[in-house]
Amino acid sequence: MPDLRLALEIDGLEIPAVITTPEAPPRAALLLIPGSLNSDVDGNFAPMFPGQPEMRTWVYKNLAEQLAARGMAVLRYSKSGPGTNTVQRDPERVKAKYSTFLQRPVVASAFLDELLRRASGLPLAIAGHSEGSVVATLLAQRRREVQRLVLLSGPSKPLLQLMIWQRWLAGEGTEAQHAEAQAWARDYAAGRPLPPDMSANPLASMFAFWTQPGNRPYLHSLECVDPCAEIARVSQPVLLVQGGRDLSVRAENADLLQRAQPRAEIARFPGLQHFYKSAPEGLAPQDSMSLSTESDPAVASAIADWLG
């Protein structure tokens, strides 16, 4: 399928992108918004800290090509950060703008403008993966040109609350420790003081990372966004895509999102993980995330069928 490579400079950062189009004239256009971590344009993830392995999943390339084979023009782009092939043209401006989550909808909106310019007149959808689903939800509220919204493995809670909750669902900590850690997460989001020593609660181990000065601006701004509250404000039709063996965003999240937005439909894939690879039951989380097989084309088929 033909690929057009381009780059946009947004607030001092040059961000690469790819538009994948079908052989025949496209019947619709879709903006694919990347998730968290340092993702390049294809969905390969560079380490964010020493010791973290690189993950070459190709998930966004796979999805774009599979959707293009079903008649859609797809624009995908890199996330900012080391290893993503972005280029800092104005480092001071980049530091000022990209240190918070609030820059992510700004970037997505700029690429939406680019897609509108290149696919004028086509029905328009946006799809956000993981953290990108929160970006897509905010963008759908702001841009009425968007006709349909697809949330790919979307979280139902702010990230710190999500991590605490999912670890508790997996059997860590007691119910009282879960309630205590969740209260601390709400205090973190509200800017209230945290206890000086949280070591007695095993569900609070990630707070040290979240409160580091270099991490806090982005993570705090992300924690202030409630995905369920935001999806409730969306007027467009919504499709929730969820893998049953997703260890990063567990399957229960789709149910909570649908509860917040009852018009949403759910496409479930019981055997797929976070990047829509077939995963054996019981696979360790890191091994599951590192699978590099092709993402299951059934996901793209379900999206294309739903878009009609």
pLDDT for 289 equals 86
The 10 Å Cβ neighbour count of residue 296 is 20
The whole-number average pLDDT for the span 52-64 is 93
Confidence of residue 1 (pLDDT cuts 50, 70, 90): low
Mean pLDDT value across the chain = 96
pLDDT for 52 equals 73
pLDDT for 203 equals 97
In angstroms, the CA 278 to CA 281 distance is: 10
Residue with tokens 């950060």: 81
Report whether pLDDT(2) > 80. Answer: no
Using alpha carbons only, give the angle 29, 33, 36 rounded to the nearest 5 degrees. 165
CB 37 within 8 A of CB 20: no
β 28-33/124-129 pair status: parallel
Residue type at 175 in one-letter notation: E
In angstroms, the CA 66 to CA 294 distance is: 10
CB 45 within 8 A of CB 2: no
In angstroms, the CA 76 to CA 31 distance is: 6
Which positions ≥6 away from 89 have C-beta within 8 Å?
A: 9, 12, 13, 14
pLDDT single digits (tens) 214-235:
999 999 999 999 999 999 999 9
The 10 Å Cβ neighbour count of residue 236 is 16
Three-state SS sequence of 125-193: EEEEECHHHHHHHHHHHHCCCCCEEEEECCCCCCHHHHHHHHHHHCCCCCHHHHHHHHHHHHHHHHCCC
Residue type at 266 in one-letter notation: I
In angstroms, the CA 158 to CA 160 distance is: 6
In angstroms, the CA 251 to CA 155 distance is: 9
pLDDT single digits (tens) 158-214:
999 999 999 999 999 999 999 999 999 999 999 999 999 999 999 999 999 999 999
Residues found in the chain: 308
**Torsion angle of the four alpha carbons 288, 261, 104, 10, in this order, in degrees rounded to the nearest 10:** 120
pLDDT for 263 equals 97
pLDDT for 111 equals 98
Structural domains in the chain, sorted by start:
3-157+226-307 (3.40.50.1820), 161-210 (no CATH)
